[in-house]
């Protein structure tokens, strides 16, 4: 019997459907002739807790740190034991085993660790599927590879999992123990990903709190030219007092010029015209969808993820949602028009958009070379019936369908005009935009970015009809919201100075993954480090104190870039042990830097500043969910000796969320 082990049930179903024999469903697997297809449910295994290595580690003690296993152990996740038993039983009957994890680092780990844990000693083939369409899966089945070729990828993923465990376990225990001395009840969770995300919010809040506004002044003039009227803005020269952005800090020069302007004559000193063609926005990855759904519909990142899971699993309206890719397989071009026609029939909005589409068009979204483990989110072709969905589900579905339909619209073509005027020997500027071909734009908005300017010719005369000075004031940066924090995590390279680090972070996924970013935000809320104030995410006193008590390197994203460089080296066959050894050496210094007096001072300082209050609805005692202490999510003794457990929302069995508590 040939046994294929897929990463998830949806992939298993797609593989079974591509086999020549019709598959029959059994409990936990599918049978098609001499091939059996079973599946994992995300990670079935997780890193064992410290006391699995030595019962002495169950009580948390400073002199135990850093805890470094000499021989690593895995343990079954509680909710995965049943499926693990199914796979164990099937392996005993198998003559051939095929690894069908996603074609990425984590997908390689997820299935291979199960195969090895259950003691399979035979050869393993590798099936690489990144498109669930039946012809694509059938082609993948015809070109199996030797799983041994992917051993470096497995070692890199395994090293990442162990490193996150070492980092989260040891720093969480160290800071929890000094927290006890500082009078903080519960677990102070520290992780490679969650702590830099918290650091982003803390630093943004402090920038807002310390912001001192100052006034500046602008002068506009309404002008007449041969073809109409427009408004232009004065460009003060360097002889005036300006800030770093060229804004005028003294009102007097603007007032004096305004008094002379009305009735004055001038000329158009320059006209710059540029025509632009803008392709439609690409189909969504999960994070890109979370950003847009937050802005358009006020949905939290977690709400969007949950909605997508329902659209995928319950309603079967969209493809796999936890994707970091914004491109579609070229093969889908042949089937998507039919799928869109079926999907849009029952909704007037979608049907109207589809009527305006030219299905013979091909945008840059269709690109096999840019499709990774998964492709972009897209409709499956099942009829969309809004009445059977919640309003939020319908809103999110329309966004997903819209971005795919937009690929069959022409580019947006605009004419952008920038003009300068010379009036009383002073420079004025104006800009405008004219839409030449609306293309895909009406699917997204009917608002014009900037009104068009009247026709202008260099050297033509202009006349000042009115002028006025406006008093303005600088404003602080906006606090993070779900949308802007997700975007910051996606584009974390913007928040570092080192060019090499920036490049690494641009080349990777940033902080977190598509599926974990929402849970990271929710985790920080659950642990009382963040609180929602309307749409804003603000750091609490506890969150601020934790960041200020940690070494700066722990609360910044550079470590993720450094790890990615080393993991990439392992993928290219570097020795994994050197990465772990370097981390252990680093941990000795980090654990040794834990200082109760510094944490007490940080709490006192935070108390004296205007911190966001803890939310009564979300705030628990520090560490009431203690997944930051380990990868297990099983719960363990808190600092007071009481048992705690991961919330059901963050405990779901999925490979993307597994272990994130320690990250």
CA-to-CA distance for 144 and 124, rounded, in angstroms? 10
Closest CA to 186 of 196, 194, 178: 178
Backbone angles phi, psi at 279, to 5 degrees: -70, 160
386's tokens:
């809004």
CA-to-CA distance for 598 and 546, rounded, in angstroms? 10
CA-to-CA distance for 165 and 159, rounded, in angstroms? 10
CA-to-CA distance for 236 and 459, rounded, in angstroms? 21
Backbone angles phi, psi at 328, to 5 degrees: -120, 150
Answer yes or no: are the C-beta atoms of 173 and 590 closer than 8 Å.
no
Residues with Cβ < 8 Å from 51, sequence gap 6 or more? 57, 58, 636
Helix/strand/coil percentages in the chain, nearest 5: 45, 20, 40
Closest CA to 284 of 406, 458, 442, 185: 406
Tally Cβ neighbours within 10 Å of residue 96.
15
Task: Kindly report the three-state secondary structure assignment for every residue of 170-228.
Answer: HHHHHHHHHHHHCCCCECCCCCCCHHHHHHHHHHHHHHHHCCCCCEEEEEEEEEEECCE
Instruction: Report the SS3 class of residue 112.
Output: helix
320 in active site: yes
Tally Cβ neighbours within 10 Å of residue 33.
13
CA-to-CA distance for 440 and 601, rounded, in angstroms? 55
CA-to-CA distance for 42 and 80, rounded, in angstroms? 9
- Which one from 154, 167, 312, 320 is the annotated catalytic residue? 320
593's tokens:
């830097």
CA-to-CA distance for 513 and 515, rounded, in angstroms? 5
Question: Is the C-alpha dihedral spanning 90, 96, 102, 106 positive or negative?
Answer: positive
**The tokens 């690929």 sit on which residue?**
407
Instruction: Report the SS3 class of residue 354.
Output: helix
CA-to-CA distance for 645 and 632, rounded, in angstroms? 10
**Is residue 348 packed enough to be buried (19+ CB in 10 Å), middle (13-18) or exposed (0-12)?**
exposed
Closest CA to 373 of 1, 2, 8, 4: 8
533's tokens:
């104030």
Using CA atoms, how far residue 418 sits from 247, 509, 564, in Å, is 19, 37, 43
**Is residue 434 packed enough to be buried (19+ CB in 10 Å), middle (13-18) or exposed (0-12)?**
middle
Tally Cβ neighbours within 10 Å of residue 617.
8
CA-to-CA distance for 660 and 380, rounded, in angstroms? 30
CA-to-CA distance for 549 and 603, rounded, in angstroms? 9
Backbone dihedral region for residue 21 (phi beyond 0: left; psi -120 to 50: alpha; all else: beta): beta
How far from each other are the two terminal CA atoms of the chain, in whole angstroms?
Answer: 39
Closest CA to 219 of 269, 270, 256: 256
Q: Write out the catalytic residue numbers.
A: 320
């Amino acid at each position: 019997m040939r046994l294929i082990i897929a990463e998830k049930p949806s992939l298993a179903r797609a593989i079974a459907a591509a086999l020549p024999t019709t598959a029959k469903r059994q409990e936990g697997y599918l049978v098609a002739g001499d091939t059996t297809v079973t599946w994992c449910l995300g990670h079935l295994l997780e890193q064992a807790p410290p006391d699995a290595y030595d019962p002495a580690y169950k009580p948390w003690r400073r002199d135990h740190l850093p805890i470094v296993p000499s021989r690593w152990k895995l343990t079954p996740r509680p909710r995965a034991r049943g499926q693990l038993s199914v796979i164990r039983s099937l392996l005993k009957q198998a003559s051939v085993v095929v690894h069908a994890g996603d074609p990425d680092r984590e997908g390689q780990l997820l299935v291979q660790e199960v195969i090895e844990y259950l003691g399979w000693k035979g050869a393993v083939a590798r099936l690489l599927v990144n498109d669930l369409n039946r012809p694509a899966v059938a082609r993948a089945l015809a070109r199996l590879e030797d799983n041994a070729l992917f051993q470096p990828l497995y070692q890199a993923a395994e090293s990442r999992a162990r490193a996150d465990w070492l980092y989260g376990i040891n720093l969480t225990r160290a800071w929890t123990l000094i927290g006890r001395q500082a009078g903080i009840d519960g677990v102070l969770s520290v992780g490679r990903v969650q702590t830099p995300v918290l650091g982003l919010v803390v630093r943004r809040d402090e920038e807002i709190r310390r912001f001192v506004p100052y006034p500046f002044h602008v002068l506009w003039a309404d002008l007449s030219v041969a073809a109409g009227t427009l408004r232009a803005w004065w460009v003060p020269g360097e002889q005036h007092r300006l800030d770093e952005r060229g804004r005028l800090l003294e009102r007097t020069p603007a007032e004096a010029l305004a008094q002379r302007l009305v009735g004055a004559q001038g000329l158009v000193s320059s006209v710059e015209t540029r025509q632009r063609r803008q392709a439609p926005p690409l189909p969504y990855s999960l994070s890109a969808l979370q950003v847009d759904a937050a802005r358009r519909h006020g949905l939290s990142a977690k709400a969007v993820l949950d909605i997508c899971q329902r659209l995928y699993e319950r309603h079967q309206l969209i493809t796999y949602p936890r994707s970091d890719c914004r491109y579609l397989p070229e093969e889908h071009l042949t089937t998507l028009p039919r799928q869109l026609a079926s999907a849009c029939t029952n909704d007037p909005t979608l049907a109207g958009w589809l009527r305006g589409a030219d299905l013979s068009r091909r945008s840059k979204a269709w690109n096999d070379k840019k499709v990774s483990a998964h492709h972009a989110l897209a409709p499956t072709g099942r009829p969309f019936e809004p009445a059977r969905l919640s309003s939020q589900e319908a809103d999110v579905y329309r966004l997903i369908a819209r971005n795919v339909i937009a690929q069959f619209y022409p580019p947006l073509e605009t004419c952008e005009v920038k003009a300068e005027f010379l009036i009383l020997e002073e420079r004025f500027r104006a800009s405008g935009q004219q839409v030449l071909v609306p293309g895909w734009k009406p699917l997204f908005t009917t608002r014009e970015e900037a009104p068009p300017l009247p026709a202008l010719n260099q050297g033509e005369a202009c006349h000042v009809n009115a002028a006025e000075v406006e008093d303005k004031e600088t404003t602080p940066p906006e606090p993070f919201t779900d949308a802007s924090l997700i975007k910051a995590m996606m584009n974390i390279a913007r928040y570092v100075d080192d060019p090499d680090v920036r490049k690494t972070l641009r080349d990777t996924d940033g902080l977190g993954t598509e599926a974990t970013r929402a849970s990271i935000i929710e985790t920080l809320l659950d642990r009382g480090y963040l609180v929602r104030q309307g749409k804003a995410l603000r750091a609490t006193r506890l969150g601020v104190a934790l960041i200020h008590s940690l070494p700066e390197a722990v609360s910044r994203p550079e470590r993720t870039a450094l790890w990615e460089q080393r993991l990439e080296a392992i993928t290219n066959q570097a020795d994994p042990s050197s990465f772990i050894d370097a981390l252990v050496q680093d941990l000795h210094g980090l654990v040794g830097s834990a200082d109760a007096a510094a944490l007490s001072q940080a709490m006192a300082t935070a108390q004296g500043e205007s911190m966001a209050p803890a939310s009564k609805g979300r705030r628990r005692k520090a560490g009431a969910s203690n997944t930051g202490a380990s990868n297990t999510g099983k719960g363990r003794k808190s600092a007071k000796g009481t048992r705690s457990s991961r919330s059901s929302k963050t405990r779901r069995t999925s490979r993307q969320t597994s272990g994130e508590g320690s990250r």
